[in-house]
Amino acid sequence: MSAVTGFPSPSQHSAPSHYEGYPSVSPPGPYHHRHAIEPPRRRGIPLLGVIGIALVAAVVLLGGGIAVAVAMRPPSAPADTRPAANGAAGTAPLGGDLAYRAGKIDATYTLTAGPKLTLTPSGSRPSRGAFLGLAVKVTVTGGEVFLTDDNFVLVTAERRRFEPDVSFLFDGGLRGARAGAGQSAGGLVVWDVPPGSEIGATVELRIGDGLRGTWQLP
């Protein structure tokens, strides 16, 4: 009995010169591990094409970033619709009036010269050199207001600012008063300032942390 080895006989190694219509191509066999004809290679993307794709991607990403930034931008705070103090362009001379209207509130503020002050009723002297006292009054025709010496700030010609922090030391000093429609309230507002600070100074009317007008001192 002859043994079966699975190897081709010598006659099988001789192949015709033509195989399946392709000249000079050897037929497949145990000693050939790839076909004689390989598939065509893919052509690479041209350099200009790569640059174009990169530019398009950059534009898309930039546009997306702008859209996200616009979407994430916090809404702007609503504008303050309350009217500013009326009068001569928001200013008045000492002794003049400043009108204030906001919502249901309709009030008129008046600032006039006060008494000459050298000592407090208890005999204390000013720590900065001089006391400046001015009389204030508010007349309410609508709504309700709360009047306090914090509503008034002295601003010197050199732009120094002083709060009236000694009003409570004097008789009639304004400590806080409430007035409704048809009522009025007032008192003395006193500053402790360097001598001569009142010359060319202004007094600001401040309501709700907002500037509502100014009086010009002589």
What is the residue range of 193's domain? 91-216
- Please report whether residue 151 resides in a domain: yes
Q: Where are the beta strands (DSSP E) in 52-129?
A: 91-93, 97-102, 105-113
- Please report whether residue 43 resides in a domain: no
- Please report whether residue 84 resides in a domain: no
Residue 71 is predicted with a pLDDT of: 38
**Residue 73 to residue 61: CA distance in whole angstroms:** 18
Comparing 197 with 80, which gets the higher pLDDT?
A: 197
For residues 108 and 99, the answer to whether their CB atoms sit within 8 Å is yes
For residues 185 and 195, the answer to whether their CB atoms sit within 8 Å is no
- Please report whether residue 191 resides in a domain: yes
CA proximity to 218, closest of 201, 195, 194: 201
Q: Looking at the 3D structure of the chain, how many domains does it have?
A: 1
Residue 39 is predicted with a pLDDT of: 47
pLDDT at 191 over 50: yes
- Which residues lie below 8 Å from residue 146, measured CB to CB, with a gap of 6+? 176, 177, 178
Task: List 24's β-bridge partners, or say none.
Answer: none
- Please report whether residue 111 resides in a domain: yes
- Please report whether residue 177 resides in a domain: yes
CATH number for 153: 2.60.40.1240
pLDDT at 23 over 50: no
pLDDT digits (tens, 9 = 90+) for 112-171: 999 999 999 999 999 999 999 999 999 999 999 999 999 999 999 999 999 999 999 999
**Residue 210 to residue 179: CA distance in whole angstroms:** 20
Helix (H, G, I), strand (E, B) or coil at 13: helix
Structure tokens at 104: 């249901």
**Residue 218 to residue 95: CA distance in whole angstroms:** 11
